[in-house]
Amino acid sequence: MNTQPLYTTQSDLINFLKSFNGAGEVLLTTVTEVPMRKTGNPYYGDVLKVQAIRALINADYEHRVNQQRRLETKVDDFQAENLRWGECHDNIVVKHDGRLYIKTIELKKETQPQYLHNQQQIPLSTIAPWMPEYRGSPKQRLDNEVKVRTFKIENIISMVIGNQVVYEKPVTLQ
């Protein structure tokens, strides 16, 4: 694997994504704040999730859902709707409230998520009582949902395509 990243700035990553042709499989490593209920939660706003997922970028969501519907011997009549919460400038980069996101279709989790509180790993069971229940997409009408995932560009730590590290966020010591 070529571990020397092609890009180390978010603007270079965005330009790369905007020029990306066709669908492609990527390995993303992200750090995101864990969504939790606030009431009575001593961990609210203080837990990060580190994860690596394999995903598709620039993929045709409607096609993927209908493909899965055919696999499940269901009518392939799904029609995708436009995003309600942001402007999709292309099929990858989404803009919302001045922030940029990358839109993906999750294929699988490469690693189990790690949860960090005050830079210390904690078990999921510690925060599970305050986490909202996951609700899939009822519009897909699938047994195995096609999961669309969006990540803030600033939360992406690295992106690998094939054997090439495309992007790696520079480490800043505090």
Measured CA to CA, the distance from residue 46 to residue 36 in angstroms comes to 10
* Whole-prediction pTM: 0.90
For the chain, list residues with pLDDT below 70. Answer: 172-174
The pLDDT, as a whole number, for residue 170 is 83
Percent of the chain that is helix, strand, coil (3-state, to 5): 15, 35, 45
Do 164 and 2 meet the contact criterion of CB atoms below 8 Å apart? Answer: yes
Polymer length of the chain: 174
The pLDDT, as a whole number, for residue 173 is 54
State the burial class of residue 107 (Cβ atoms within 10 Å of its Cβ: 0-12, 13-18, 19+). middle
The pLDDT, as a whole number, for residue 174 is 53
The pLDDT, as a whole number, for residue 84 is 82
The pLDDT, as a whole number, for residue 83 is 80
State the burial class of residue 115 (Cβ atoms within 10 Å of its Cβ: 0-12, 13-18, 19+). buried
Measured CA to CA, the distance from residue 144 to residue 9 in angstroms comes to 36
